[in-house]
């Protein structure tokens, strides 16, 4: 007898049930588009009742926001794994690589977060504030580099934003297959080195 994703998750706990629902919804969204994102369809794919989804998320709108927030939570956990005992410049560079690694490891969530996978979706102000908190890793790293005299003095938040914008563009192009996969890592390395070199003291 085949055991549904819901049954497997239920045995592991409520957190696993939530993850199973979100992962299934994200997979359907990327594979079939926003039209597939109905409570009934997701429940059928997971193997649970629609009541489970309504109880956890309050319906489709709550589920979509939960998908968006889950993506940022996963990004935050990925960035948190970068060792903080590195030298300031090395830590900042490692965060850049970790951002790319997350996008390549979780492309479905990355598209939900940044590529308008659900047309018309507008996250709540609370969700937006939470999503921006993931950038705090980069802001702290830039500030540490400035204090160490590695980067020119300035507004750490502004510099972190600029770095994020550039790296996000590179990653998005890679996911869109606009960069040769065999050359993507080298191109990213060149971009990251060029950005940091341009911000160093003495320039």
Q: Rounded distance, CA 98 to CA 133, Å?
A: 16
pLDDT at 118: 78
Same domain, 80 and 100: yes
As a whole number of angstroms, the distance between CA 82 and CA 99 comes to: 10
Question: Rounded CA gap, 69 and 112, in Å?
Answer: 10
Residue 112 contacts residue 26 (beta carbons within 8 Å): yes
- pLDDT the model gives residue 117: 75
- On whether both 190 and 91 belong to a single domain, the answer is yes
Which helix (H) or strand (E) segment holds residue 69: the answer is helix 60-80
User: What pLDDT, on the 0 to 100 scale, is given for residue 3?
Assistant: 45
- For residues 195 and 30, what is the distance between their CA atoms, to the nearest angstrom? 32
Here the CATH number for the domain that contains residue 28 is: 1.10.10.60
Range of the domain at 193: 60-199
Q: Which DSSP string do the residues of 68-119 spell out, in sequence order? A: HHHHHHHHHHHHHTS-TTS-HHHHHHHHHHHHHHHHHH-HHHHHHHHS-SST
Q: Are residues 176 and 132 in the same domain?
A: yes
Residue 170: count other Cβ atoms within 10 Å of its Cβ: 21
**Do residue 97 and residue 154 come from a single domain?**
yes
- 123 plus 193 within the same structural domain: yes
CA distance 69 to 132: 11
Q: Rounded distance, CA 49 to CA 70, Å?
A: 22
Residues 65, 163, single domain; the answer is: yes
Instruction: State which of 26, 41, 58 marks the end of a domain.
Output: 58
Residues 50 and 66 in one domain: no
User: Last residue of a domain, which of 13, 35, 58?
Assistant: 58
Q: Are residues 195 and 132 in the same domain?
A: yes
Number of domains in the chain: 2
pLDDT of residue 10: 55
Structure tokens at 7: 């049954």
Whether residues 68 and 54 fall in one domain: no
What's the pLDDT score for residue 1? Answer: 41
Tens-digit pLDDT string for the chain (203 aa): 454 554 555 544 567 888 889 989 888 887 888 788 888 999 998 888 899 899 999 888 888 888 888 889 999 999 999 999 999 999 999 999 999 999 999 888 888 888 877 778 888 888 888 888 888 999 999 999 999 999 999 999 999 999 999 999 999 999 999 999 999 999 999 999 999 999 998 65
Of the candidates 169, 168, 129, 138, the residue with the CA atom closest to the CA atom of residue 156? 138
Q: Check whether residue 89 and residue 151 sit in a common domain.
A: yes
**Final residue of a structural domain among 14, 32, 58:** 58
Quick one: pLDDT at residue 197? 93
pLDDT at 184 (0 to 100): 96
Length of the chain: 203
CATH code, domain carrying 83:
1.10.357.10
- Distance (Å) of CA 30 to CA 85, 87, 114, 139, 144: 37, 39, 13, 31, 38
Residue 42 tokens read as 């997701």
């Amino acid at each position: 007898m085949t055991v549904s994703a819901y049954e497997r998750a239920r045995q592991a706990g409520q957190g696993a049930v939530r993850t199973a629902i979100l992962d299934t919804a994200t997979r359907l969204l990327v594979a079939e588009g926003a039209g597939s994102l109905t409570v009934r369809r997701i429940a059928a794919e997971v193997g649970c009742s629609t009541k489970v989804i309504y109880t956890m998320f309050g319906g489709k709108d709550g589920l979509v926001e939960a998908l968006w927030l889950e993506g940022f939570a996963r990004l935050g956990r990925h960035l948190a794994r970068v060792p903080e005992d590195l030298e300031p410049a090395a830590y900042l560079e490692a965060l850049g690589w970790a951002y790319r690694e997350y996008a390549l490891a979780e492309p479905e969530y990355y598209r939900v977060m940044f590529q308008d996978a659900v047309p018309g979706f507008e996250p709540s102000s609370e969700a937006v504030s939470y999503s921006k908190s993931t950038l705090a890793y980069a802001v702290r790293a830039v500030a540490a580099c400035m204090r160490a005299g590695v980067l020119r003095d300035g507004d750490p938040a502004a510099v972190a934003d600029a770095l994020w914008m550039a790296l996000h563009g590179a990653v998005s192009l890679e996911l869109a297959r606009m960069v040769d996969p065999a050359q993507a890592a080298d191109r990213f390395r060149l971009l990251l080195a060029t950005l940091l070199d341009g911000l160093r003291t003495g320039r």
